[in-house]
Amino acid sequence: MKTRFNKLKASSIAAAAAAVLFMNMTPYKQPAFIDAAFKKAEKQYHYLAKEADVLKKFPRTTDKNGKLKGTDEWDWTGGFFPGSLWYIYHQTANEQTKAAAIKWTEALEKAKDLDQHHDIGFVMYCSYGNAIKYLKDPAKIKEYQDIIVHSSNTALHRYDPKVGLIKSWNEKKSWDGKTLWKYPVIIDNMMNLEMLCYASDLTGDPKYKKVAISHADQTMKNHFRPDYSTYHVVDYDSQGNAIHRQTNQGFADNSTWSRGQAWGIYGFTMMYRETKKSEYLKTAQKAAKYYIQHQNMPQDNIPYWDFNAQQAGFQSDVDFSGRQLSYIPRDASAAAIVASALVELAGFSKGKDKELFLNFAKQTLETLSEPAYFADYQSNGGFLLKHSVGSLPHNSEVDGPLTYADYYYLEALTRLKKWK
């Protein structure tokens, strides 16, 4: 009997091992909505490109009448439209899309000298950086790489080594009407560091990446609360000491603005990829779990514009009484940014964390690809996603389309399609 038991036990172990091997060898099945979304996106963006040609501006959002509203190359959002075109071209190989992507990328060239604010990484890397990835023209790639290096040198104009951070804005008053920020740094600024890391890779000069690491280290130290929620604005003195922690786009200084949390998750995931510093991975994972597991996260994974809006214990310095909103708006742009970050973060994570991040990203993207959030052809000003919030405190771009929501949605789809 004992011999027979041992044979059965060995047989069971072999069968279990074979089952595990089979599961590991089973190809990852791409969600069906990805290709369908890209097909609809291409059609919609051909329409948007025609509208942009008429407007002669970079698409940003819509006005109160639902008409396309654009901006110039000195705004922080100019790079997202050409960047989105590059993501679509990468999937469809449509020459019309490629021509539009080149046209609108090269229309940004003057912005290589943009130093009025911190956003040059958004503008130049989302456009020229994607062009470098997806073009097969060596001459243009070299030209675009030179522009990226030039842009990175411009970005360093706003870096003070004594403070150790890139200054986001010039002097600015907070919503309380009395605090003057002298050296404000916003969590969004993490998104400009990828261009600096790439510039060091291109040139072999470590100075760009050193600035990126210094900025990330200080941000990790001062922008996160113990629960890994984020402050939007941290103001510094001339020696790099954090002296104010407030908000400019969230509900309250102590609340968690959902897109700010998204920038933090994305930024530290990216910086872990570029440096392999374990502290960055831990920060990204903890910030992601705060976002995913928050009690106020709606079931469809599309967050409210602020996790703590209108809640007890969160006092806003902004007078919202004239907004007449009977609901708390969602922010599809935050959802898209987080989904893109989580697909990458899942690749750096193990076990339950990997499963948590990837499944949440897939579910979010599937929701965004459905009619509740994905616009019909020629509607929504030509943009893909509905229901984003630019800045509720400024009463600006509330519950409408945003060019960067589309960009990170398309980036997330691109990343998910590559998942193996």
Question: Rounded to an integer, what distance in angstroms lies between the CA atom of residue 99 and that of residue 165?
Answer: 37
**And the tokens for 151?**
């842009």
Give bridge partners of residue 184 from the DSSP assignment. Answer: 235
Give the 3-state secondary structure of residue 293.
Answer: helix
Question: Rounded to an integer, what distance in angstroms lies between the CA atom of residue 41 and that of residue 203?
Answer: 35
Residue 122: burial class (beta carbons within 10 Å; 0-12, 13-18, 19+): buried
**And the tokens for 296?**
């106020």
Quote the crossing angle between the two packed helices 278-293 and 351-368, to the nearest 10°.
50
The enclosing H or E element of 166 equals strand 165-166
Residues recorded for the chain: 420
Strand order, beta sheet including 233-236: 184-186, 233-236, 242-246
Backbone angles phi, psi at 238, to 5 degrees: -70, -10
Question: Rounded to an integer, what distance in angstroms lies between the CA atom of residue 114 and that of residue 111?
Answer: 5
Tell me which residue of 364, 400, 361, 396 sits closest to 384, measured CA to CA: 400
Question: Rounded to an integer, what distance in angstroms lies between the CA atom of residue 266 and that of residue 404?
Answer: 14
**And the tokens for 299?**
């079931």
The set of catalytic residues is 119, 188
